[in-house]
Amino acid sequence: MSKSLVIVESPAKATTLKKFLGKGFDVKASVGHIRDLPKKKLAVDVDNNFEPEYVTIRGKGKIIAELRNAAKKAEKIYLAPDPDREGEAIAYHIESIIKDQTKGEIYRVLFNEITKTAVQAALERPRKIDMNLFEAQQARRVLDRLVGYKISPLLWKKVQRGLSAGRVQSVALRLICEREREIQAFKPEEYWSVWSALEGKLPPAFEAKLNKIGEKKAEVRNEEQANAILSDLQDASFTVTDVQKKERKKNPYPPFITSTLQQEASRKLRFSPKKTMTIAQMLYEGIKLGEEGSVGLITYMRTDSTRVSDEAIQGARGFVEKNFGKEFLPSEPNVYKTKKSAQDAHEAIRPTYMDKPPAEIKEYLTKDQLALYELIWNRFISSQMAPAKIDQTGVDIQAKTYIFRATGATITFPGFMKIYVEEEEETKEANGQDATATGAEKTIILPPLAVGEKLKIQKITPKQHFTQPPPRFSEAMLIRELEEKGIGRPSTYAATVGLIKDREYVFDTNRRLFPSELGFLVSDQLVENFPDILDAAFTANMENQLDLVEEGKAGWVETLKAFYVPFKKDLEKAETAMKDFKKEGIETDEVCEKCGQKMLIKRGRFGKFMACAGYPECKTTKKIQSDGATESSSAPKAPDIPTDEKCPACGAGMVIKSGRFGKFIACSKYPDCKTTKPIGTGIKCPEEGCGGEIVEKRSRAGRSFYGCNKYPACKFASWNKPVPEKCPQCRHPFLVERHKEGEKYFACPQKECKFRKEVEEEAAE
């Protein structure tokens, strides 16, 4: 035995590590988990302390053989999967399959960034497997398996095949459904604002909003009241009664944690959480920078701590002083508080090297990699910059008993805003009001004004508004809501959002999440029959219990027992109490053509259909047309959803429609204009020089396939659904989804590349 063996979970990370470790080390990759619960059975002995039955993941036999063979030759073995619960579980299972192959010591090592300094430091202070950390992951895995494998069959039996429930996904779905019902029940209320266009002695002209009438806040309910105010102001003089000036400081934002990175990447870059985490994983594990080789560009991307190392802070401060000057550098480093509920094991997400700004390495990055790296870089550098200084001026103007107010602001010192301003587009609409009605959101440039100055009136304009319902969740807003309620953990958010979309419980249109009819149905059944699991506070408390297991303050078996006893009772009750939609159906206004009884909407193996309530005596059935024409008011046709696109044929707006083969984009002037196009996957065509996008299409036989939207100029086509994840072995721009023996996995579409990735079981999340 001569070499030390380092085992990581990713081939890309292995490539980066080899550069640092030298000839005395052999580096192998497990390619994720090697053991897990089997997919086709519960595999948890609920009568024997929830003992899990782990099996080797299909396709991992060759990798395990390589790891065991390498372990025989190693004097020391360092297990280096990611530094979190999931990584600890991977390390535990690797140790279990290699410990009988070596007489050498087996250690666990952790590093938050893949740099030479961090890796060497980790190897100098190895430890043993942290059983508390492993048991916390095992408790979560078993807990999610119990929820998923106990409730999902009920949904198959009572509602429709292929459905799933989960501890986190079902609560997320409930939030979306409840928000949609709030919107449906919302009744807008009319109100008016009154604006005056004014001129002082010096330009520019400006607008002021009616703020008070006498001593009371101005509340104008209707057009009649607005016109009465206009009439009363006909001969009024406008005089400045108060001018207030103050300097306001705007502090920089903390560096990213997982949830804030996903939210800001969604708002600024239009990335889905899943895409954000996929690209962040690439940046963390290593990007080839020419002759320098593979370099890890950011720290570990699954964290909820804003803590940053002293070395990194000093590096950022040095960069700020060198590139922006001392005036942009605060006298002391900025320190940010981490939430009490956060796991403080890792630093915030930041660049690993201050000598690799985005502009200098952009030639080695894809467009999306560069965009995310720039976002992380700018956020981190700005977090160690001085506050921005803003001169804010508020002016009160009196006309009779009416007080108008104008607010102006000037940035006198940009500070951190020189390189970073957080996107705030969604916070404005969340207040339930028309943004044009709030004076605070209409900041303007004001001329020099003095108390007592008489102003010239140009015009007075009343504006009608209506209160707005709460906005539908975007993916970023949903993640923020889950985080604020303590539901799930940063590492689960992307999978949770992706899962409820994949199950077609919700659909994403114009970056907003709409619950489907199926989503409503599933959510309602789960809320009614499993109130605890669907309760946000209950789910958040379970996260706290898992944290206690990790800290060694609670046993994982006791935690599961406390959950399972009431859960088992709910299950037994739901077996008989849950409504059987397959059998009973949903009553419609349509009557059977043969016997005159009501027709029911039922769900079968192939989706919805209509059947006579007199079954089995009357076996009349009817297909539900793609346009929803036969559906009752209880199951209305899905509305067309507007998009920002214009029809290339007639210039009218394009809308998203639902047809028998799913959603597609069509001209809003149909049937006068019959222009249609498929909805894109967001993945570029791999054919060199094409520049097209892969879209879902239908063959003449009605089978789905994926082809280039530039057909017939480009003939690219594939039966397999593309996945926006780069192959870690050959760097092909995407993987494809494949199925074998009822199991799903991702694979590289290149025949010469044998990369295959088991899809982690998500049904229980």
Q: Which residues are catalytic?
A: 300
Q: How far apart are CA 209 and CA 190, in angstroms?
A: 18
Q: Which amino acid is at 232?
A: D
Candidates 375, 339, 383; CA nearest to 263 is 375
The CA-atom distances, in angstroms, between 613 and each of 119, 587, 621 are 68, 8, 10
* 71 CB-near residues (< 8 Å, 6+ apart): 5, 77, 98, 101, 102, 104
The sign one gets for the Cα dihedral 723, 728, 729, 733 is positive
Length of the chain: 765
SS (H, E, C) 245-302: EEEEEECCCCCECHHHHHHHHHHHHCCCHHHHHHHHHHHHHCEECHHHCEECCECCCC
Order of strands across the sheet that contains 621-623: 586-591, 598-604, 607-612, 621-623
CB 207 within 8 A of CB 442: yes
Residue 453: count of CB within 10 angstroms of its CB: 17
Residue pointed to by tokens 């025989």:
72
SS (H, E, C) 591-627: ECCCCCCEEEEEEECCEEEEEECCCCCCCCEEECCCC
For residue 143, the surrounding DSSP H or E stretch is: helix 131-158
SS3 522: helix
Helix orientation angle between 475-484 and 169-185, rounded to the nearest 10 degrees: 110
CB 439 within 8 A of CB 465: no
Q: Which two tokens stand for residue 133?
A: 């950390």
Q: How far apart are CA 170 and CA 762, in angstroms?
A: 12
According to DSSP, the residues that pair with 398 across neighbouring strands are 239, 403
SS3 6: strand
Q: Which two tokens stand for residue 587?
A: 């009553």
CA angle 480, 485, 491 (to 5 degrees): 60
Q: Which amino acid is at 77?
A: I
Maximum alpha-carbon separation in the chain: 99
